[in-house]
Amino acid sequence: MLSCYTATQSTAIPIHTVNENDYRTWLSEQPTLQQKWLETTGFKVKPGSYCLLPNEQGALVAVVVAQADDLLWGYADLATRLPVGEYYFTQVDDNALFNRALAWGLECYRFAKYKKNETVFARLVLPNSIDSEHLETLVTSIYWLRDLINTPTQDMGPQQLAEVTQQLAMNYNAQYSEVVGDALITANFPAIHAVGRASAQLPRLLELRWGKKTDPKLALIGKGVCFDSGGLDIKTSSAMTLMKKDMGGAAHALALARMIMALGLPLQLQVLIPAVENAISGNAYRPGDVVSTRAGKTVEIGNTDAEGRVILADALSYAVESQPRWIIDFATLTGAARVALGTDVPALFSNDDAMATGIHHMSKTVNDLLWPMPLFQPYNKLIESPIADLNNAGNSPYAGAITAALFLQAFVPASIPWVHIDVMAWNVKARPGRPEGGEAMGLRALFEYLRAAL
């Protein structure tokens, strides 16, 4: 069990949730000392406030917390604000408790690879009625995803991302294979090679396969740009600062695969990660170059900083060859998606309306919002090229998230339900349960959607 949870209830301290309506009644039932204490400390029943209740010996005997508006994150900071010890929530049903426990666990994450962190957290009692395997799979998979994204490129280049993927495959008895460097040319992944060839670390296509041949096939694809300098169309320093996170899509695909394998969903998985560094050197791909793709379509490079869609094109084509039942890709693909929806809400595109609606609906249910955006076909005009089949950047300052999605759609036949998620994968500011840094966004929604659909 994770160190922020415990199974034993015997000596744990109760956390009572109160709301404005029943507070007076509740208060009248408490010992006089505690009534006085709540008055003395000026406890108010408003979201975010809580109070530690002592007995006559000064020992902590209970916690009272005001009912939160946010049923997921509303109680998360208790995990780091309460004195170290064991606690349990009173009077909550299992569904509410699952959410509070999830947020509690996600609050207790620290990235301690380079800076020792000895924080000890309060422990939450998980009663038997909670599906703790499900809970801990979500929490540990999200910890793992955050670690992958937070790790700087020096320790998370294409090669290390390959090692991590291979390790994941070993842990769950999955098959692992990869195509590396010039072998990408001979194996017909020219676009992945073009984007990644300028880096000191060779470009790769990572592949993990898992599951029973009789189960429906799901292809998961993640943008694995381990660092995005922009290439020759170099980014400004402020735009480059966070670009170790440009493999956030890969981290999402891998973490979703981990959840699926850990909980044994009846799926046949194919995980594909084109892993590259968008670097600059004498052999870097250039603006104006025409890159060929696995599908045979040619791509004029309007901007070397629109690299994600170029590598994803080859991964999508390869996935299509296995005729999966579904394809889902995750990518930190555009700044435009962040202009449209901000940092916290991933954009959801799909060629299958029912799937988009189902995922959107589930994302509200589990408080992990994604928002549908249109694959508006007339905007294909914006990514036309006079000399190639497509241009990777387009010639308009508008609709950047949509034109990127349309570019990807050019590599997916209408017959295969496909979902594209354009995600930030990073918390720009810490909030309860969501520390600053790498973050899973839309991941639980996708997992619960798949679990419910099967």
Interaction site with Zn ion (CB under 5 A): 225, 228, 246, 305, 307-308
Closer Cβ to Zn ion, 207 or 246, answer by number: 246
Looking at beta carbons, which residue is closest to ligand BES? 335
What is the closest distance, in whole angstroms, from the C-beta atom of residue 311 to ligand BES in the complex?
10
Closer to ligand BES by Cβ: residue 244 or 294: 244
**Nearest distance from C-beta of residue 344 to ligand BES, angstroms:** 12
Distance of CA 294 to the CA centre of its chain: 28
CB of 274 vs Zn ion, minimal distance in Å: 12
222 binds, among Zn ion, ligand BES, none (CB under 5 to 8 A by kind): none
Distance of closest approach, residue 203 Cβ to Zn ion, in angstroms: 14
- What are the b/e assignments for 310-339, b being 16+ CB within 10 Å? bbbbbbbbbbbeeebebbbbbbbbbebbbe
Please state the length of the chain: 454
- Closer residue to ligand BES, CB minimum distance, 139 or 316: 316
Partner that binds at residue 440, options Zn ion, ligand BES, none, CB closer than 5 to 8 Å by kind: none
Binding partner of residue 393 among ligand BES, Zn ion, none, CB cut-off 5 to 8 Å per kind: ligand BES
- For residue 195, how many C-alpha atoms fall within 13 Å in the half-sphere facing its CB? 37
Which of Zn ion, ligand BES, none sits in contact with 370, Cβ below 5 to 8 A by type? none
* 277: partner contacted, choices ligand BES, Zn ion, none (Cβ within 5-8 A by kind): none
Task: Give 60 or 234: the residue with its C-beta nearer to ligand BES.
Answer: 234
Among ligand BES, Zn ion, none, what binds residue 327 when CB lies within 5 to 8 Å by partner kind?
Answer: none
Query: Minimum distance from CB of 397 to ligand BES (Å)?
Result: 10
Binding site for ligand BES (CB under 6 A): 228, 246, 303, 305-308, 332-336, 338, 393, 400, 424
Minimum distance, C-beta of residue 136 to ligand BES, in the bound complex (Å): 30
Task: List residues with catalytic annotation.
Answer: 235, 309
Nearest-approach distance from CB 361 to ligand BES, in angstroms: 26
Sign of CA dihedral 184, 190, 196, 199: positive
| Residue 258 vs 309, nearer CB to ligand BES | 309
Q: Which is nearer to ligand BES, 62 or 424 (CB)?
A: 424
287 binds, among Zn ion, ligand BES, none (CB under 5 to 8 A by kind): none
Distance in Å from the first CA to the final CA of the chain: 28
In the bound state with ligand BES, the residue whose beta carbon lies nearer, of 136 and 228, is 228
Cα Rg of the chain (Å, integer): 24
Taking the least distance from each CB to ligand BES, the nearer of 98 and 285 is 285
Rounded to the nearest whole angstrom, what is the least distance from the CB of residue 107 to ligand BES in the complex?
25
Partner interacting with residue 206 (select from ligand BES, Zn ion, none; CB below 5-8 Å by kind): none
